[in-house]
Amino acid sequence: VQLVESGGGLVQPGGSLRLSCTTSDRAFSNLHMAWFRQAPGKEREFVAFYSGTGGYQEYADFVEGRFAASRNWVENAAYLQMNNLKPEDTAVYYCAAGSFASKRPDRYPTWGQGTQVSVSS
């Protein structure tokens, strides 16, 4: 499975972005999806999880209801809608796919290339 990300950019505090993660591989529909982020000088951290069946989602505490993960199984795509962005959300965001439900990045064998999200006035 190869994942391609898009949707990052520069926004002002309080703004919104929608990240996309797409693939042409039908095996994607059976996998769990997660979003991670990595800021300069920091470790990669968990942001959101969306199960392969669509029945379960989980978010990092810092999300505080501002982000929403979703999937479109027909289009083989996953999305992360991010609202009310804060400067501390600035990071490279990655989507990841795997067979195990986990918040650990090392449990995901397949990754997107990453997309930069910058929040600044």
pLDDT attached to residue 114 = 97
Rounded to an integer, what is the distance from CA 56 to the centroid of its chain? 15
Measured CA distances, 83 to 10, 57, 90, 108 (Å) = 13, 17, 13, 26
In DSSP terms, 119 is beta-bridged to 11
pLDDT for 62: 97
pLDDT at residue 119 above 90? yes
| Chain segment 85-114, per-residue pLDDT in tens | 999 999 999 999 999 999 999 999 999 999
How far out from the chain centre does Cα 13 lie? 19
